[in-house]
Amino acid sequence: MSESGLERTTETRLLPASNHPGAGDGLLSPLLSVERLEVQFRAKHGAVRAVNGVTFQVSSGEMLGLVGESGSGKSVTSLAIMRLFPRDGSVISMGRVWFDGQDILSIPEPAMRRLRGRDMAIVFQNPMTSLNPTMRVGLQIAEILMVHEGLGRRQAFERSEALLQMVGVPAVHESLAKYAHEFSGGMQQRITIAMALALQPRLLIADEPTTALDVTIQAQVLDLIRERAAETGMAVVLITHNLGVAAGLTQRIAVMYAGLLVEVGETRSIFASPRHPYTVGLLGSLPRADYHRVKLTPIPGMPPVQVEEPKGCPFAPRCARQISVCSTETPALRSMGRQVAKPSRAVPNTCSHLVACHNPVPTEETPLMPLGSRRD
Amino acid sequence: MARYIARRLVLMVIVLAGMSVLTFLLTHLVPGNPAKLMAGLHATQAQVDVYTRRYGLNKPLPVQYWRYVTGLTHGDFGTSLTTQRPVAEDLKQFAPATAELVFAAMVLTVVIGVPLGALSGLFHRSWFDHSTRVISVAGAAMPAFWLGMILQVVFFAKLGVLPVGGQLDILSQSPPTITGMVVVDSLLAGQFTVFRDALLHLILPAFTLAAGGIAIVTRMSRGAMEDTLETDFIRMARAKGMPELRVVGRHALPNALTSTVTVLGLQVGALFAGTFLVESVFTWPGIGLYAVTGIRDQDYAAIMGVTLLIAITYCLANLVVDVIYALMDPRITYAGT
């Protein structure tokens, strides 16, 4: 694949269809811009590289899916954006994370603390453990309003009640006085979403928000997030290992593997013509309702734990399309040229379909169920 | 909750009954003859027989036990062989001093152990954490009687800042007896010089008694704090932008303390056991000293009385702890059945 794939035309960015008025600002500068983010965990023998140089943007009103297996670095990326690592120096973040024009990896902690909860919020995977077991949920919501807005207790609780109402928790008044364990998992997650949305943040990171929930509840919670995002125009980074979850909600998908982005593109494009063998594999291991008697195809092997500087493509050992260059050179993200746009200011992946692969899957060879063998 | 407490009290009676049988057997099966000890070194067999009959020591053990238990139901703990007084009266006289000592030690355990542990957990692997670890492991390893004597040497003999033993200076007038606890009584009577004197006398024995517990509670609350700080809800509190003081004080600490409270309840037993040695070292006129004398003289009734009193206190303390535990952690509910 040569440079010719990278057609340079006018600076048209393919941005998500958003009718939110605030989304216009995002056209020029994205709300969140992660540039060459690297995260290393100090271990006894050297450092474990959890994130190895990840670059992506999210604009207001946009929902980006960050997809990958466990251990691919998705959650670590989200913690780095919120700067929620322990401050004892055991975790090192490098690169830049621009949020609304400031590099949040370098601002002082008090300023960062004011951003958290107010401008950027996060919903974690397990609502049961995310809620303080010995504090009534009312206070857990209200304290956000009291600390950030300086509201009095009474006002804060009134607003908390309205927030619970908004996320669909029944009997709101009584619920304020309850403890986390008195709610079902779905209700607990609604409560953490109410906490995240309390101050109408501009960025919501949803880190596997439905993984710990029943399938029937999953859809409700996802709908709630979509609904709130559409109404407020906040940007959402949806982290999931489930491409199916990402498909229904996101405008763009970024696929992570071993701390690297391996494919970025519009959701439709990723599903219609996945180019990276890993993405193809992920799609192949996805159960579908509309194809019967299709065998699910797992990807053989396990994702690697990166200790050394990555050499070659990290997916190569598990890849069926491996060629000789794969084990020596780490592929960079390149445009596949389907949706044409010029990469600007060294941040190439706001547009078009980008793949980091020496031997990408050709477009015509990627049916919807690429690795599954249809038998009828 | 009321039904739970009632059920626990019923269970407590069963525990105490079992314990009284065990103590009774142990004290009476120990070789030696208390009647002989009481009659004196040069007593004739006839004189010894008088004592043996007076205290029913010639009766079979089950009969002796039955007599003891029926007496207990009327509040009769038997008669002490050494003081020649009803044990109930002895306990009434000596228990307040021990209560004062144990209470003071408990307060020291909480106010020193919990903050030290919480701070070590918060600043884990810092110099502060390492030094509290060294000190608390040393504290746990040090025998109380030895620590007591070292403290006496340093603070009384060398520095001369604290008294060596007893509840009050010989020259101090005892305050009028209200609770029996000198520190409390002197305060109630408004005798502040006596109060100060009593407090100074309390420091060394209370600290000696508390040392082991402080060490354990420090280690426990350090671990609890460290674990709590790694939980999801602490990360959530930080993600909400809560100030660090609130994250630690309002979110982490109450959760870390729930497990510490259980340890404190168990500590009550250890403190009472500790009084035997500490009261001996500091000539503290409490039931520990009374029991040590009783054991030496094979004073069955005295030993039984002290053991029962401690057992009752221990059971009640742990009941209180379990109730506090339920109040601190809403996930704990006690079914009435």
Q: Residues A160, A147: contact at Cβ < 8 Å?
A: no
d(Cα A100, Cα A112) in Å, to the nearest integer?
Answer: 13
* Amino acid found at A350: T
- Region A183-192: what's the mean pLDDT? 93
Neighbours of A106 (CB within 10 A): 9
Neighbours of A12 (CB within 10 A): 11
pLDDT of residue A2: 41
pLDDT of residue A370: 41
Average pLDDT along chain A: 82
> What strands lie across the sheet with A102-103, from one edge to the other?
A47-58, A32-42, A91-99, A102-103
Q: What is the dihedral of CA A28, A52, B241, A24, to 10 degrees?
A: 10
User: Exposure of B22 by Cβ count < 10 A (0-12 exposed, 13-18 middle, 19+ buried)?
Assistant: exposed
Nearest CA in chain B to A87: B123
The count of C-alpha atoms lying within 13 angstroms of the C-alpha of A103, restricted to the half-sphere facing its C-beta, is: 9
Q: Percent of chain B having pLDDT more than 70?
A: 99
H/E/C letters for each residue in A102-135? EECCCCCHHHHHHHECCCEEEECCCHHHHCCCCC
Here the CATH number for the domain that contains residue B214 is 1.10.3720.10
Residue A278 has pLDDT above 60, yes or no: yes
CA distance B313 to chain A (A): 29
Q: Residues A98, A76: contact at Cβ < 8 Å?
A: no
Of A76-90, A225-239, A354-368, least confident by mean pLDDT is A354-368
Could you tell me if residue B335 is inside a domain? no
Residue A99 has pLDDT above 90, yes or no: yes
Q: Residues B135, B222: contact at Cβ < 8 Å?
A: no
Neighbours of B235 (CB within 10 A): 21
User: Exposure of B284 by Cβ count < 10 A (0-12 exposed, 13-18 middle, 19+ buried)?
Assistant: buried
Could you tell me if residue B110 is inside a domain? yes
d(Cα B260, Cα B324) in Å, to the nearest integer?
Answer: 11
- Region A177-188: what's the mean pLDDT? 93
Joined tokens for residue B73: 């139901």
- Is B250's CB within 8 Å of A135's CB? yes
- Region A311-327: what's the mean pLDDT? 87
Residue A151 has pLDDT above 50, yes or no: yes
User: Minimal CA–CA distance to A316: which of A328, A303, A326?
Assistant: A326
CB contacts, 8 Å: A147 with chain B: 240-243, 246
d(Cα B211, Cα A19) in Å, to the nearest integer?
Answer: 68
d(Cα A223, Cα A210) in Å, to the nearest integer?
Answer: 11
Residue B171 has pLDDT above 80, yes or no: no
Nearest CA in chain B to A135: B251
H/E segment holding residue B304: helix B300-328
CB contacts, 8 Å: A113 with chain B: 241-243
Choose between B290 and B2: higher pLDDT.
B290
Name, in order, each residue with C-beta under 8 angstroms of A361's C-beta and a sequence gap of 6 or more: A274, A275, A276, A277, A280, A321, A370
- Is B233's CB within 8 Å of A130's CB? yes
Could you tell me if residue B173 is inside a domain? yes
Tokens 């107010």 label which residue? Answer: A118
How remote is the C-alpha of A265 from its chain's centroid? 13
Residue B327 has pLDDT above 90, yes or no: no
Choose between B113 and B30: higher pLDDT.
B113
* Amino acid found at B314: Y
CB contacts, 8 Å: B328 with chain A: 134
pLDDT band at B121 (very low <50, low <70, confident <90, very high): very high
A21 backbone dihedrals φ, ψ, rounded to 5°: -60, -35
- Is A132's CB within 8 Å of B233's CB? yes
Joined tokens for residue A253: 């998908």
Nearest CA in chain B to A183: B331
Q: Residues A78, A125: contact at Cβ < 8 Å?
A: no
Helix residue ranges, H only, A153-209: 153-166, 172-176, 185-197
Indicate whether B21 and B94 sit together in one domain. no
**pLDDT (tens digit, 9 = 90+) per residue, A340-349?**
344 444 444 4
A84, A113, A133 member nearest B235 (Cβ): A84
Could you tell me if residue B80 is inside a domain? no
Joined tokens for residue B33: 């003859």
d(Cα B334, Cα B337) in Å, to the nearest integer?
Answer: 9
Indicate whether B238 and B289 sit together in one domain. yes
CA distance B161 to chain A (A): 43
Q: Which of B20, B46, B73 is the last residue of a domain?
A: B73
Joined tokens for residue A95: 């690169």
Indicate whether B219 and B314 sit together in one domain. yes
d(Cα B152, Cα B201) in Å, to the nearest integer?
Answer: 11
- Is A117's CB within 8 Å of B239's CB? yes
Tokens 């039931």 label which residue? Answer: B287
d(Cα A4, Cα A336) in Å, to the nearest integer?
Answer: 10
Could you tell me if residue B158 is inside a domain? yes
pLDDT of residue A290: 61
Residue A254 has pLDDT above 50, yes or no: yes
Residue A113 has pLDDT above 90, yes or no: yes
Note the residue count of chain A.
Answer: 376
CB contacts, 8 Å: B231 with chain A: 129
Q: How many CB pairs under 8 A join A and B?
A: 75
Indicate whether B112 and B65 sit together in one domain. no
In chain A, the domains with their CATH numbers are: 3-113+205-365 (3.40.50.300), 126-198 (no CATH)
Q: What is the dihedral of CA B135, B140, B141, B142, to 10 degrees?
A: 80
- Is A147's CB within 8 Å of B233's CB? no
d(Cα A278, Cα A275) in Å, to the nearest integer?
Answer: 9
Indicate whether B59 and B93 sit together in one domain. no
Name the pairing type of β-strands A260-266 and A252-257.
antiparallel
- Region A216-223: what's the mean pLDDT? 87
d(Cα B169, Cα A141) in Å, to the nearest integer?
Answer: 57
Indicate whether B201 and B290 sit together in one domain. yes
Note the residue count of chain B.
Answer: 337
B125 shares contact with chain A (CB less than 8 Å): yes
Chain B, 19-78: which have a CB under 8 Å from a chain A CB? none
pLDDT band at A294 (very low <50, low <70, confident <90, very high): low
- Is A113's CB within 8 Å of B243's CB? yes
pLDDT of residue A305: 72
Indicate whether B18 and B137 sit together in one domain. no
pLDDT of residue B180: 83
Indicate whether B204 and B174 sit together in one domain. yes
Indicate whether B141 and B263 sit together in one domain. yes
Indicate whether B59 and B95 sit together in one domain. no
* Amino acid found at A89: G
Of A195-199, B107-111, B142-146, least confident by mean pLDDT is B142-146
ipTM over 0.85: no
Nearest CA in chain B to A130: B233
d(Cα B186, Cα B312) in Å, to the nearest integer?
Answer: 28
**pLDDT (tens digit, 9 = 90+) per residue, A6-51?**
333 333 333 343 433 333 444 457 899 999 999 998 887 778 888 9
Looking at the structure of chain B, the number of domains it has is: 2
Choose between A258 and B36: higher pLDDT.
A258
> What's the Cα-to-Cα distance from B245 to each of A76, B80, B119, rounded to whole Å?
25, 56, 12
pLDDT of residue A175: 94
Joined tokens for residue A307: 């200790």
- Region A251-257: what's the mean pLDDT? 93
- What angle (nearest 5°) sits at the alpha carbon of residue B115, between those of residues B109 and B121? 120
Joined tokens for residue A172: 């709101």
DSSP state of A344: B
- Is B239's CB within 8 Å of A115's CB? no
pLDDT of residue A347: 41
Indicate whether B171 and B303 sit together in one domain. yes
Q: Which of B20, B44, B73 is the last residue of a domain?
A: B73
CA distance B328 to chain A (A): 7
d(Cα A294, Cα A368) in Å, to the nearest integer?
Answer: 12
Q: Which domain holds residue B15?
A: 2-73
Longest Cα–Cα distance in chain A: 67
- Region B275-294: what's the mean pLDDT? 93
pLDDT of residue B335: 64
Nearest CA in chain A to B229: A86
CA distance B262 to chain A (A): 16
3-state secondary structure (DSSP) of residue A263: strand
Joined tokens for residue B269: 């037993």
A80 shares contact with chain B (CB less than 8 Å): no
Could you tell me if residue B81 is inside a domain? no
pLDDT of residue A17: 39
A296 shares contact with chain B (CB less than 8 Å): no
Indicate whether B111 and B14 sit together in one domain. no
CB contacts, 8 Å: B240 with chain A: 116-117, 121, 143-144, 147, 195
Q: Which of B45, B73, B101 is the last residue of a domain?
A: B73
Chain B, 212-271: which have a CB under 8 Å from a chain A CB? 231-233, 235-243, 246, 250-251, 254-255, 258
Nearest CA in chain B to A196: B240
Could you tell me if residue B317 is inside a domain? yes
d(Cα A47, Cα A93) in Å, to the nearest integer?
Answer: 12
3-state secondary structure (DSSP) of residue A36: strand
Could you tell me if residue B336 is inside a domain? no
